[in-house]
Amino acid sequence: MKKRLALLAFATAVFAVPAALAQSTATFNFNNSGELTTYFNADSDPQWTYNATGGLAGSGGLTFPEDTNDLWISKGGFQVAAGNTYTLSVYYKNEFNSGYGGMGFTILTGSGHDNADSYAAPLEAIGISAHGGGYVVTNNTSTIGTAIGDSWYANATTNTLYGGDLPGDEVNTHWLYFSETISFVSGTSFTLQMNVYDVNQSTGAVGSLLAQTAAYSLTNADLAGSSALYPYFSTNGRRFTAADGLSIASTAAGVNLTDPSAPVPEPSTYALLAGVAGLGLALYRRRAARA
């Protein structure tokens, strides 16, 4: 009986691996000093620092100098596969009036990659860089003027403009929650959209939808042809002064984002796991039939 239970447990565990990896999620609250450098790679001149009370509602978080150009890329990534979505969300504290806060997905790995331009984005990436009155869509942007810029919408479907800057300035700083979703459609085609939510400044709870971008269809052969996409977040200039609660999720398979040393599994891995699981289940049924 013990052998049967052990074999069944083994088969169940093997079957569970692909399902778990196909719903890869992780949240980083930055409540300890080593969380940023453990799970993210820095650029050539990192300036963001851990602050025990600099996050939401006085919790731990990341704080930035007033004029900061920083880029941090996740050590864990997701497989690139058509039909999957990739979501990145983060709280930024809006304080100044001249700069960007960026976020998105890149094929770059390792340390030392800097912002490719003043929009707070790496070169080989799809993402959005936000400012007070609007945003810039980056799609392998290397020079100023090649990115797509627009104003915030209150309702992107009806082209209703937000009508002003997002809340937050030097007198009244304001936390905002940015959530961006990229979908790999097929071939070299991606879609991209970001929503901006208000935040309860005392508790950190996410509130109502404030603003959003239009929905974009983009072509990017570099990302489509890569083996993995890596989330990034960044700043450039004087805009946001703190970050907290970064969440990463994807329907695609990927590494356990809290174990960056694990490799991104190849599709052939799943076939092997499924075959082993099927063999284990067949052996279990044969033993059960003889009992």
Domain boundaries, the chain: 1-22+265-291, 25-252
From first to last of the 291 residues of the chain, give the pLDDT tens digit: 333 323 222 222 222 334 334 468 889 999 999 999 999 999 999 999 999 999 999 999 999 998 999 999 999 999 999 999 999 999 999 999 999 999 999 999 999 999 988 889 999 999 999 999 999 999 997 565 567 889 999 999 999 999 899 999 999 999 999 999 999 999 999 999 999 999 999 999 999 999 999 999 999 999 999 999 999 999 999 999 999 999 999 999 875 555 554 544 444 444 433 444 444 444 444 444 555
Domain 25-252, architecture per CATH: Sandwich (2.60)
Q: Which residues of 212-234 are buried (b: 16+ CB within 10 A; e: fewer)?
A: bbbebebebeebbebebbbbbbb
Tokens of 128: 């959005």
User: What's the farthest any 2 CA atoms get from each other in the chain?
Assistant: 77
Residue whose entry in the numeric block shows the structure tokens 């919408």:
153
Give the pTM.
Answer: 0.82
> What does the alpha-carbon distance between residue 173 and residue 169 come to, in Å, rounded to a whole number?
5
**pLDDT reported for residue 118:** 84
Where in 156-265 does DSSP place strands (E)? 160-161, 174-186, 189-199, 206-212, 216-219, 228-250
Are 77 and 263 in contact by the 8 Å Cβ rule? The answer is no
Parallel, antiparallel or unpaired: strands 153-155 and 160-161: antiparallel
**pLDDT reported for residue 166:** 96
**pLDDT reported for residue 17:** 33
Torsion of Cα atoms, 237 then 238 then 244 then 246, to 10°: -30
Closest CA to 248 of 227, 232, 225: 232
**pLDDT reported for residue 146:** 65
**pLDDT reported for residue 264:** 46
Are 73 and 40 in contact by the 8 Å Cβ rule? The answer is yes
Are 84 and 220 in contact by the 8 Å Cβ rule? The answer is no
Report the SS3 class of residue 43: coil
Report the SS3 class of residue 140: coil
